[in-house]
Amino acid sequence: MYGSLKGKDYIYTQDWSDTEIELALEKASELKFMFKNGVPHRILPDKTIFLLFFDKSTRTRNSFEAGITQLGGHAHFIDSSTSQIAHGESPKDTGIILSSYGHGIAIRHDLVPGEGNSYMREIAKHASVPVINMQCDVDHPCQTLADLMTIREIFGKNLRGRKIAVSWAYAPSYAKPMSVPQGLIMLMTRFGLDVTLAHPPEYKLMDSTLEIARQNAEKAGVKFEVVDDMDAAFEDADIVYPKSWGIESLFHKPEEALEISKQYQDWICDERRMKLAKEEAVYMHCLPADRGNEVTDAVIDGPQSVVYQEAENRLHTCKSLMALTM
């Protein structure tokens, strides 16, 4: 079955079947075991992947660069602003040329709604190697795969009856992409979790992702609901995932979006809210978390936080994706 994924793009989690997602998780667990036990796993010798970034990165860039090295290959980092893309080189030309130089292309293009995913799919249309989405405007499929891996490590594979609260949280730093919450509601509804999404009225997610989440929930026989109350979302949750994101219509006016967000500075994950969730509930975040705004130090550094386990799993899941597709 692993061989069936060779050459396959990974742009939405929704593009992969449940069986294919299971294979990716299985491979990630295998590679994690090998990494932890010092077992060599150079299964992509002499393979090259191009990492094309339109945005800043810590975990994504380093998990891919370290991951391909551990698999026996090599990564080329490309900053879009210092490449010919900044001068207007087309996705077609970029896809064809990079394909002729290596074995995979990974792209992060997440800050402008309507641009990133379309750009990746145009690259993929002309590329002869697999294209991996390192985060776009619609989905962050590398992050959410690691999130699902982490949840299963804690609660087991059978997640039916458990609840995840995906909530907006206040952050004054910048208008963050919508892709993480959108990716979470699309993926977690497929794998047994009841999902409650909470946000102030201005922070609605893209209609297409909400529709996918509803359809996935119906097919899987789980609950998907949207509320405008952070407390209500946290009640009896097994997993809480509060993070900030921007307003879709205002990504070209970030100052205006940040001004609106000041109305909701009380949307913070603190000890009081954690007590609304189940006693054994865990706190998750894709990082970097805006400490003191999205979450208090007491929570993110406390016993219920699994953010470092979650961040570590970014390495193993991205290695799995490269190993299976390249």
| CATH superfamily, domain at 2-140+313-325 | Aspartate/ornithine carbamoyltransferase (3.40.50.1370)
- pLDDT > 80? residue 308: yes
- 55/206 Cα distance (integer angstroms): 21
Structure tokens at 64: 């891919």
Task: Give me the pLDDT at residue 255, please.
Answer: 86
| 143-310 has CATH 3.30.43.10 classification | no
- pLDDT > 70? residue 1: no
Which one, of 133, 125, 142, 128, lies nearest residue 109 by Cα?
A: 133
Which one, of 88, 83, 120, lies nearest residue 104 by Cα?
A: 120
For residue 269, the one-letter residue type is: C
For the chain, the first-to-last Cα distance in angstroms comes to: 14
- pLDDT > 90? residue 174: no
CA 119, 124, 126, 128 dihedral sign is positive
Give the max Cα distance, the chain: 55
Question: Position of tokens 């994504």?
Answer: 60
Q: For residues 271-289, give the mean pLDDT.
A: 98
| Three-state DSSP class for residue 22 | helix
Encode pLDDT of 107-120 as tens digits: 999 988 999 999 99
Bridge partners of 168, per DSSP, are 243
- pLDDT > 80? residue 96: yes
**Following DSSP, what letter does each residue of 41-106 receive, concatenated?**
---STT-EEEEEESS--SHHHHHHHHHHHHTT-EEEEEEGGGSGGGGT--HHHHHHHHHHH-SEEE
Q: Where are the domains of the chain?
A: 2-140+313-325, 143-310
- pLDDT > 90? residue 206: yes
Encode pLDDT of 24-62 as tens digits: 999 999 999 999 999 999 999 999 999 999 999 999 999
Structure tokens at 104: 């995979």
Task: Give me the pLDDT at residue 102, please.
Answer: 98
- One fold for 2-140+313-325 and 143-310: yes
Q: For residues 59-73, give the mean pLDDT.
A: 98
For the chain, the average pLDDT equals 97
Pairing mode, strands 163-168 and 131-136: unpaired
Instruction: Answer whether 262's CB lies under 8 Å from 231's CB.
Output: no
- pLDDT > 90? residue 254: no
The beta-strand segments (E) located in 96-245 are: 104-109, 131-136, 163-168, 194-198, 224-227, 239-243
Instruction: Answer whether 278's CB lies under 8 Å from 235's CB.
Output: no
Instruction: Answer whether 212's CB lies under 8 Å from 186's CB.
Output: yes
Bridge partners of 52, per DSSP, are 78, 107
Which one, of 123, 73, 79, lies nearest residue 103 by Cα?
A: 73
- 63/143 Cα distance (integer angstroms): 11
Distances (CA, A) of 97 to 21, 129, 300, 302, 316: 29, 11, 43, 48, 28
Task: Give me the pLDDT at residue 3, please.
Answer: 73
- 12/177 Cα distance (integer angstroms): 15
Q: Within its chain, how far is the Cα of 285 from the centroid?
A: 10
- 192/217 Cα distance (integer angstroms): 8
Percent of the chain whose predicted confidence (pLDDT) is above 90: 95
Task: Give me the pLDDT at residue 89, please.
Answer: 97
Distances (CA, A) of 37 to 31, 171, 212, 312, 323: 10, 39, 39, 15, 19
Any idea of the CA torsion for 241, 146, 79, 126, to the nearest 10 degrees? -120
